[in-house]
Amino acid sequence: MVPCLVGGLLAVQALLLGYLAIRQSPNANEPGHLAAGVSNWQSGRFELYRVNPPLIRMTGAFPVIMAGMKTDWDAFYEGPEARPIFTIGPAFMKANGERSFWIMTLARWACIPFSLLGGLVCFFWARALYGDTSGLLALTLWVFSPNMLAHGAFITPDAGATAMAVATAWLFWRWLQHPTWGRAIAAGCLLGLAELTKFTLILFFGLWPCLWLFWLCFPRYTETKLSVWRQGAQLAVLLLLALHILNLGYGYDGAFKPLGKYEFISATLRGPATDMNKGQTGNRFTGTWLEHIPVPLPAQYVIGIDIQKQDFERERQTFFRGKLYPHGFWYYYLYALAIKVPLGVWLLTLLAAVYTLFQIQRGQGDNWRDEIVLLAPLMLLFVFVSSETDYNAHLRYILPIFPFGIIWISKSAQIIISFKSYRSLVIAVPLLWSVASSLWIYPHSLAYFNELIGGPSQGYRHLINSNLDWGQDLHDLKRWLEQHPSSEPFYLAYYGLFAPQVAGIEFQLPPEWPEGVDDLKDSANRSLVPGRYAISVNHIYGLDTLPPFNAAGEKQYVDESAYRYFLDLEPVARAGYSIHIYEISQADIDLLKAKRHKK
C-alpha cells in the first residue's frame, strides 16, 4: 500500500511540474542558463553564467542539443566583471524564435527528476526517523509545496540544488549511523554532484566534519564501536571524492591555481580599493604566505563565487512591503517564509514543536542526535543567507532549507499513533488546507502567498522579483490578448530577459512619467493616451534590475519611477499575478493629472 501511495504522489508531482513547464514563459534567468548549458557541452568552457555551477543547466541543455537549436555567441566577451550571458540569453531566444519555447519545455522536463529525487529522500528520511505515516506526510508536503512546484518547473538551479542538498545530507546521515566504505563513497559522490548545483552547498565541506565530531561525542550504547581513525579515514575519502567530482564537473579547468594568481573584484577578496566603479581588480592575499597555496577548486568556480559576492556587496535595491530600499534586512527571509509558506504547513510546524515538547517532558525522543543532524544544514544555510543583509530579493536563495524543515515537520504525524485515532483530524485538516491552498492558485505557484496577507492578489504589496514577478506570465498575457481582441493601442513594459516579440506580441513601450514631473509627457514628448497597458509588477515599483524591451525588441533604460503612476490605477485584469492589465480612458488620465498636481 505504501509503495503505491509513494508512486502515486510522485506521479502527481511529475504531472504538475510537466504542465507548469509548458504553461509558463521562460523566467528572467532561464534563457541565460539554457544558452550557458549549451555552451558548456559544446565548448567545454564555463565562463557563461559562472555565478552558478553547471550541473542543472547542463542537464536541461542535453535534450535541447539532441533536438537541435540555433546559437548566437556574437555578444560573448571576457573580463574580470564580464557577464555576457545577459545579452547572449536574449540572443539565443531570438535566434530560435517561437521554437525557443518548445526548446525550453524540453529543458525543463529534463530537470523534473531532481524534484522527484528530493521527494523520495523526504519520504525515506522521514520514515526512518518517525515511521511510514510521517514519510507519507513529508512526501505530500514536498509534492504540493507551492515553492517547490514553482521552481521545480524551471531550469534554474534552485530546485535541483534543494533536492541534491537533502539527498547528500541523507546519505551522510546513513554513513554516520553505520560507517562503511561503501556508504562513504556513495555520500562522497553525491556531495560532489550537489556541489555542482549551488555555491552555498560548499558549506557542507565544513559542516560534515563538525557533525561527525558531534556524533562521536554523544554515542549510543547500542552502536557498534568502530575505530575513530577508520571513521576519520572514511570521512577524508568522502570529502576528497566530493572534491574530485566537483573538479571533474568542470574538467579540472584551472584547478589548483595559486591563490595569489587570481584577479578578484569583490571587496572581500580583492581588498581595499579607491573606486569600485572603474572595474578595479586585486587580491588581498598577494604578498602573504597564502598567495602560493594552490586552490583545489576549478578556476571558474572560484571566480563565480567572487562575482556573486560582489553582487551582494554593491548597492542594489531591495523591495520590501511596498518600498525600495538600498539595503536588505536580517529578518527578510523570516518574513518571506511567513507569507509564502501555506498556513496549514505552519500549523503542522506548531504541532511538531508541541509534540517535541511532549516527548521531552516524558523523557522520550531517543533520536535527538538524528534530528540535530537533520536540522543543522537548515540552520547553517538559513543563517548564512540571512547574514547577507546588503541585498535581499529572492526566497529561492533559502529554498534548500525546505526539505529539512518538511522532514522535521512530518514528526507531527506521530500524534496519530500516540493518541486516539480521531486525533488524526488534527493532522488531516492543516494538511488538506495546505494542499488546497497550493492547488487553488496552481499553475501560478510562483506567485503563491498565503491567506495571512490576502493571497496572491495582494502579494505585490509585500514581495516582488522572483517571489512573484520573474517574467513567467508572458504566455498568459498573450492568451488574454487573444481572448479579448481590441483595436486600441497596446502598450507593454515586460520584465524578462527576452523580447516579447519572440512570443508574437506586438506593442509599444508606455510613456514614462517619473515622479516630480507634472506633465504627462516623457522625455521623447510622448503623451499618455487612452488604450491598453500591461505592466509587470517589477516595473510598476521601479525595480531596475532588467530594463524593458521596446517596440524594436531592444532594451530601453527608463527612470526607476517611470511607471509608478500605475499604482494610482486599478487593473482590469491580470496575466497570472505578475502582469497588471489596464484599460486607460481619458477620465483616468484626467484623474492622474489631478492627483499629480495635488502632490
Give the span between the Cα atoms of 167 and 175, in whole angstroms: 13
Task: Provide mean pLDDT across the span 261-282.
Answer: 77
Tens-digit pLDDT profile for residues 124-175: 999 999 999 999 999 999 999 999 999 999 999 999 999 999 999 999 999 9
Task: Provide mean pLDDT across the span 542-562.
Answer: 84
Lowest mean pLDDT among 252-256, 310-314, 372-376, 403-407: 310-314
Give the span between the Cα atoms of 143 and 11, in whole angstroms: 10
Residue 53 pLDDT > 50: yes
Helix, strand or coil, per DSSP, at residue 177: helix
pLDDT at 366: 74
Lowest mean pLDDT among 176-185, 251-260, 352-361, 374-383: 352-361
Give yes or no for a contact between 45 and 35, defined as CB atoms under 8 angstroms apart.
no
Give the DSSP per-residue string, 545-564: SSPPB-TTS-B----TTTTG
pLDDT at 514: 72
Give yes or no for a contact between 185 and 379, defined as CB atoms under 8 angstroms apart.
no
pLDDT at 518: 64
pLDDT at 407: 98
Task: Provide mean pLDDT across the span 38-53.
Answer: 93
Give yes or no for a contact between 452 and 461, defined as CB atoms under 8 angstroms apart.
no
Tens-digit pLDDT profile for residues 438-484: 999 999 999 999 999 999 999 999 999 999 999 999 999 999 999 99
pLDDT at 406: 98
Lowest mean pLDDT among 308-312, 346-350, 430-434, 579-583: 308-312
Tens-digit pLDDT profile for residues 361-420: 777 667 889 999 999 999 999 999 999 888 888 999 999 999 999 999 999 998 876 555
Please, which residues have CB within 8 angstroms of residue 462's CB and are 6 or more apart in sequence?
A: 320, 321, 322, 335, 339, 449, 453
pLDDT at 96: 95
Q: What pTM was computed for the model?
A: 0.94
Tens-digit pLDDT profile for residues 12-42: 999 999 999 999 999 999 999 999 999 999 9
Determine phi and psi for 264, rounding to 5 degrees: -100, 155
Determine phi and psi for 531, rounding to 5 degrees: 160, -170
Residue 557 pLDDT > 90: no
Give yes or no for a contact between 491 and 534, defined as CB atoms under 8 angstroms apart.
yes
Confidence of residue 524 (pLDDT cuts 50, 70, 90): low
Residue 517 pLDDT > 80: no
Task: Provide mean pLDDT across the span 256-268.
Answer: 92
Rg over CA atoms, the chain: 25
Give the up-direction half-sphere exposure of residue 430: CA atoms within 13 A in the CB hemisphere: 22
Residue 347 pLDDT > 50: yes
Confidence of residue 538 (pLDDT cuts 50, 70, 90): very high
pLDDT at 367: 84
Confidence of residue 523 (pLDDT cuts 50, 70, 90): low
The order of strands in the sheet holding 490-493 is: 490-493, 531-536, 579-584, 573-575
Confidence of residue 541 (pLDDT cuts 50, 70, 90): very high
Give yes or no for a contact between 301 and 53, defined as CB atoms under 8 angstroms apart.
yes
Task: Provide mean pLDDT across the span 556-582.
Answer: 92
Give the span between the Cα atoms of 453 and 340, in whole angstroms: 10
Residue 276 pLDDT > 50: no
Residue 496 pLDDT > 50: yes
Give the span between the Cα atoms of 17 and 118, in whole angstroms: 14
Residue matched to cell numbers 548564512: 384
Give the span between the Cα atoms of 546 and 543, in whole angstroms: 8
Q: What is the dihedral of CA 351, 355, 358, 364, to 10 degrees?
A: -170
Higher-pLDDT residue of 512, 81: 512
pLDDT at 422: 63
Tens-digit pLDDT profile for residues 184-210: 999 999 999 999 999 999 999 999 999
From residue 118, give the alpha-carbon distance in Å to each of 400, 432, 526. 10, 21, 52
DSSP H helices in 442-536: 474-483
Determine phi and psi for 36, rounding to 5 degrees: -65, -40
Please, which residues have CB within 8 angstroms of residue 378's CB and are 6 or more apart in sequence?
A: 401, 404, 405, 408
Residue 223 pLDDT > 50: yes
Percent of the chain scoring above 70 in pLDDT: 94
Tens-digit pLDDT profile for residues 79-137: 777 788 888 999 999 999 999 999 999 999 999 999 999 999 999 999 999 999 999 99
Confidence of residue 424 (pLDDT cuts 50, 70, 90): confident
Higher-pLDDT residue of 320, 419: 320
Task: Provide mean pLDDT across the span 243-268.
Answer: 94
Residue 234 pLDDT > 80: yes
Residue 488 pLDDT > 90: no
